């Protein structure tokens, strides 16, 4: 199977069977993300144990790219510290903006690199990441429970 087909299947699989979908009661971080270009929105819930992300879930509506990326995001950051998750988010966004990033640092997220050919869709792929980054930043700034909002304009 060609790599492009494999990546397409991976995106479709995350879209049709999203991982970690749902809400978390009493999250440490709740953030609502929106893409003003299309009106799509999602909410992300993060539970922390110390500074480690012990659980992360999302709900929302949007195109296949945004939903698949959110699903992959939850899988990738669960178990990471806030600092590690922010570093990964930076690498993912760099990759989506055309920078070369080692493949082994991104895993399944490499499947989204094809989206770079369609600049308007890059914000679909980064929606959940800019949102969770905003929530993590606000949490770290205030060191308390956070209800944040973010849009892809933050990118």
124 binding ligand FES? (CB under 6 A): yes
Residue 41 CB, shortest distance to ligand FES, in Å, is: 9
Residue 125 CB, shortest distance to ligand FES, in Å, is: 8
Range 11-15, long-range pairs (CB < 8 A, 24+ positions): 11/64, 11/65, 11/68, 11/111, 11/112, 12/64, 12/68, 14/67, 14/68, 14/69, 14/71, 14/72, 14/108, 15/64, 15/67, 15/68, 15/71
Residue 81 structure tokens: 């510290």
Given the complex with ligand FES, which of 61 and 145 has the nearer CB atom? 61
Q: Which of 29, 96, 122, 127 binds ligand FES (CB under 6 A)?
A: 127
Backbone angles phi, psi at 72, to 5 degrees: -65, -40
Given the complex with ligand FES, which of 15 and 139 has the nearer CB atom? 15
Residue numbers 28-87 binding ligand FES by CB under 6 A: 35, 38, 40, 62-63, 65-66
Contact footprint for ligand FES (CB under 6 A): 35, 38, 40, 62-63, 65-66, 124, 127
């Amino acid at each position: 199977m060609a790599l492009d087909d494999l990546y397409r299947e991976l995106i479709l699989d995350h879209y049709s069977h999203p991982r970690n979908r749902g809400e978390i009661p009493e999250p440490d971080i709740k953030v609502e993300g929106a893409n003003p270009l299309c009106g799509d929105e999602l909410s992300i819930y993060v539970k922390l144990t110390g500074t480690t992300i012990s659980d992360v879930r999302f709900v929302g509506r949007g195109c296949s790219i945004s939903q698949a990326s959110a699903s992959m995001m939850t899988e990738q950051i669960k178990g990471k510290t806030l600092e590690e998750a922010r570093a990964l988010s930076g690498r993912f966004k760099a990759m989506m903006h055309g920078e070369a990033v080692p493949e082994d640092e991104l895993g399944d997220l490499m499947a989204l690199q094809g989206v770079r050919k369609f600049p308007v869709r890059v914000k679909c792929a980064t929606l959940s990441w800019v949102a969770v980054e905003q929530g993590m930043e606000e949490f770290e700034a205030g060191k308390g429970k956070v209800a944040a909002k973010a849009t892809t304009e933050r990118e």
